């Protein structure tokens, strides 16, 4: 089905590129069926065209009548203006998909024509290599067939989880922002490796392989994280010493706070844009 769909991105930034990269790699969506636009950065559009073979056009040349799925991929603060612009350009068969943090389906529905299908999505930048953990929540009017097609589209970018929209903030805290926490962690590992005399490229690869292996164990084995930790810890050994330092420096609390703070910010964005004081 996807090969007959035309998908347009309003926004040509990091997230749009990661999603396009994932889509193209599967071969399920022909590059010529993908259109990308932005407000002003022509260099960026040229790059998307050259790198992925997609169509890249100025905003005023976007062929709305050809579009099946319109993906909003600009910053959340641009949502209001964009929705009011596209409202009169869309027909009732087109689906609006938003990847914007904090923008709720009801926010979109209130600003579009009655009955317009909307789907809220939260991918992450690992879409680039088809390893995103992506959430989707359906708006009031999303039809089953379109929801299935959008899920198939998102599966080009990795794993997809259909969730209730009230879980979207916490999902954003864990998975939308999550890659950044692991990059941060790996950056610290690389730094300390370097301080101890290790080549930093080598330390980076070693840290990444370690995180990758640990993630793969969780994905492929039945054991819980606690059981997997148990398999590593020797009494009075190196891991016990490492974990003791993590606990002493509130490592667990730091992670919880990071996720919570991101989730809180997602909720705040919704409230700010709805005009509710926070």
Binding site for ligand A1CAB (CB under 6 A): 101, 172, 176-177
The CB-of-16 to ligand A1CAB minimum distance in angstroms stands at 13
> Is residue 44 close enough to count as binding ligand NDP by CB under 6 A?
yes
Rank residues 64 and 184 by Cβ distance to ligand A1CAB and give the closer one. 184
Q: Which does 193 bind (CB under 5 to 8 A by kind): ligand A1CAB, ligand NDP, none?
A: none
> Is residue 119 close enough to count as binding ligand NDP by CB under 6 A?
no
Give the C-alpha separation, 63 to 8, whole Å: 9
For ligand A1CAB, which residue has the nearest CB? 176
Distances (CA, A) of 79 to 65, 83, 227, 234, 238: 21, 6, 44, 53, 50
The CB-of-202 to ligand A1CAB minimum distance in angstroms stands at 29
Q: Which does 6 bind (CB under 5 to 8 A by kind): ligand NDP, ligand A1CAB, none?
A: none
According to the 3-state scheme, what is the secondary structure of the chain? CHHHCCEEEECCCHHHHHHHHHHHHHCCCCHHHEEEECCCCHHHHHHHHHHHCCEECCHHHCCHHHCCEEEECCCHHHHHHHHHHHHCCCCCCCEEEECCCCCCHHHHHHHCCCCCEEEEEECCHHHHHCCEEEEEEECCCCCHHHHHHHHHHHHCCEEEEECCHHHHHHHHHHHHCHHHHHHHHHHHHHHHHHHCCCCHHHHHHHHHHHHHHHHHHHHHCCCCHHHHHHCCCCCCCHHHHHHHHHHHCCHHHHHHHHHHHHHHHHHHHHHHHCCCCC
Contact 107, 79 (CB under 8 A): yes
Write the binding mask 244 to 273 for ligand NDP: x where contact by CB under 6 A, - elsewhere: ------------------------------
Write the binding mask 161 to 190 for ligand NDP: x where contact by CB under 6 A, - elsewhere: ---------------x--------------
> Is residue 43 close enough to count as binding ligand NDP by CB under 6 A?
no
Annotated binding residue 76:
yes
- For ligand NDP, the binding residue among 32, 39, 205, 221 (CB under 6 A) is 39
- For ligand NDP, the binding residue among 2, 8, 11, 126 (CB under 6 A) is 11
Q: Which does 12 bind (CB under 5 to 8 A by kind): ligand NDP, ligand A1CAB, none?
A: ligand NDP
Annotated binding residue 14:
yes
152: Cβ contacts below 8 Å, ≥ 6 apart: 1, 2, 28
Q: Which does 245 bind (CB under 5 to 8 A by kind): ligand A1CAB, ligand NDP, none?
A: none
> Is residue 78 close enough to count as binding ligand NDP by CB under 6 A?
yes
Binding site residues, ligand NDP, CB under 6 A: 10-16, 38-41, 44, 73-76, 78, 82, 99-101, 122-125, 176
User: Annotated binding site, which residues?
Assistant: 10-15, 60, 73-76
User: Annotated binding site for NADPH, which residues?
Assistant: 60
């Amino acid at each position: 089905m996807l090969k007959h769909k035309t998908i347009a991105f309003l926004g040509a930034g990091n997230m749009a590129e990661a999603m396009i990269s994932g889509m193209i790699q599967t071969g399920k969506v022909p590059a010529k069926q993908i259109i990308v636009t932005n407000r002003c950065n022509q260099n960026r559009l040229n790059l998307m065209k050259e790198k992925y073979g997609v169509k890249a056009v100025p905003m005023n040349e976007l062929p709305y009548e050809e579009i099946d799925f319109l993906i909003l991929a600009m910053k959340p603060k641009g949502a209001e203006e964009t929705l009011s612009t596209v409202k009169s350009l869309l027909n009732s068969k087109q689906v609006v998909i938003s990847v914007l943090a904090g923008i709720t389906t009801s926010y979109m529905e209130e600003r579009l024509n009655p009955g317009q299908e909307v789907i809220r999505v939260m991918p992450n930048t690992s879409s680039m290599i088809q390893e995103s953990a992506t959430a989707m929540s359906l708006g009031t009017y999303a039809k089953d067939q379109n929801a299935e097609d959008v899920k198939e589209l998102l599966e080009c970018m990795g794993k997809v989880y259909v969730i209730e929209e009230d879980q979207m903030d916490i999902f954003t805290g864990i998975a939308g922002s999550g890659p950044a926490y692991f990059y941060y962690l790996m950056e610290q590992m690389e730094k300390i490796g370097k301080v101890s005399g290790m080549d930093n490229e080598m330390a980076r690869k070693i840290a990444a392989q370690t995180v990758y292996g640990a993630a793969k164990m969780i994905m492929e084995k039945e054991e819980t994280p606690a059981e997997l930790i148990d398999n590593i810890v020797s009494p009075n050994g190196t891991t016990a010493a490492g974990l003791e330092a993590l606990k002493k420096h509130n490592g667990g609390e730091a992670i919880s706070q990071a996720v919570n703070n991101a989730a809180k910010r997602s909720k705040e964005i919704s409230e700010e844009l709805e005009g509710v004081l926070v």
